[in-house]
Amino acid sequence: MNLNLEVQRKKWANRRRMAWMSFIAILVIGVLSFVFPAAAEQSSGVLGAVVALLGAIVLGYLGFSSWDDVRTQEGAYER
């Protein structure tokens, strides 16, 4: 059981890291689109898709971490 909890902690640490990196990438894309508006205008279709995918990663992490908190409170990992 102890090993299972350690594996779960490592999984969530990696997921959290991925969500933070995606969030930072969204911020960087936003800042760079203001710094280089001509380039952002030319690639707006691609940038929109990239930001949408990165946002999905962040929202997916938030949703699944909330779901995992509920499962933990219900004792799903103790079975």
pLDDT tens column, 2-43: 668 788 888 888 989 999 999 999 999 999 999 999 998 999
Q: How many angstroms separate the CA atoms of 11 and 49, rounded?
A: 27
Domain that holds residue 38: 2-78
Q: At what angle do helices 44-74 and 2-35 cross, to 10 degrees?
A: 150
Q: How many angstroms separate the CA atoms of 10 and 18, rounded?
A: 12
Give the chain's domain count.
1
pLDDT tens, position by position, 66-79: 888 887 777 766 65
